[in-house]
Structure 1
Amino acid sequence: MIKRMVYVNHIEVKSVTIGSVMEVGDVYRASPTSTVLAVQKEGEEYTTDTFNYEDYPIFSIPPSPPLHPIEISSFHYHNSPIIVDHVSVKGLSTAAVLQIGGIDHFDASSRTKHIRIINNEP
């Protein structure tokens, strides 16, 4: 991959969280991943319930096979810099990528199990 200069006049990103990546420039590979076990419990009482990834099949099943590469009709400026005027992003979350530049290989994975424990109404 030919490395190019990147000139960004203004970039504003409020939040980058949970395995996400913000890259400026050409990169060879990005592989953001995220594994989240979120528990939301109703009530004021705190308990030390234990939740384990191995208890939920979503975290142990093999991922689906990768898609075949696609061809995109594009143009190339191998020796010219990348020039960007303005980028505004509110947030990147859960294995997201914001890329200003080129990338040869991209492979992202996110698995989330959200559990809600709600009290029974009388």
Structure 2
Amino acid sequence: MVYVDNVDVTSILISSIFTIGDVYRAAPTSNILAVQKEGSEYIPGTFKFKDYDIFNLEPSPPLPPITITTFTYQNNPIVVDDIEIKGVSTAGVFQIGGIDHIISKNRTKHFRLLQEDEQM
């Protein structure tokens, strides 16, 4: 059992997870094309994930599991008073409770298209 008195969250964005209680597995994933375009109007369909190799690459192998000292509360609840979260974003996980597996993946292609570059 988890008892939380107050959680104040400003934002949770882009495939992020906020959970209270135990979870076996969390696997948030996000693919983002971030285009900063100067000048002419945006034309839908101009940018496609398939056009950028980063979205087609195989992920690197996961790191080996780490061993940490944990506390086991047999029949005792987790009690939290107050939490203030400004933001959780881009395949992030905020967890109050137990979790066995986390596999987060984010791929972001960010670029700028400036008018002076387009004229060349």
If the length of structure 1 is used for normalisation, what is the TM-score?
0.90
- Sequence identity percentage: 54
Q: Which of 77, 80, 83 is the aligned partner of 1:81?
A: 77
Instruction: Figure out how many residues of one structure are paired with residues of the other and give that number.
Output: 117
Which residue identity is paired with 2:98? G
Q: Which residues of structure 2 form unaligned runs of 5+?
A: none
Shift of 1:78: 2.8
- 1:29-44 aligned within 5 A: 29-43=25-39
Distance 1:47 1:12 in 2: 36
Please identify runs of 4+ aligned residues in structure 1 that moved more than 4 A: none
If the length of structure 2 is used for normalisation, what is the TM-score?
0.92
Q: Does 1:63 align with 2:59?
A: yes
Shift of 1:39: 1.1
SS at match of 2:115: coil
Moved more, 74-83 or 55-64: 74-83
Q: Does 1:14 align with 2:10?
A: yes
SS at match of 1:120: helix
Q: Which of 100, 112, 115 is the aligned partner of 1:116?
A: 112
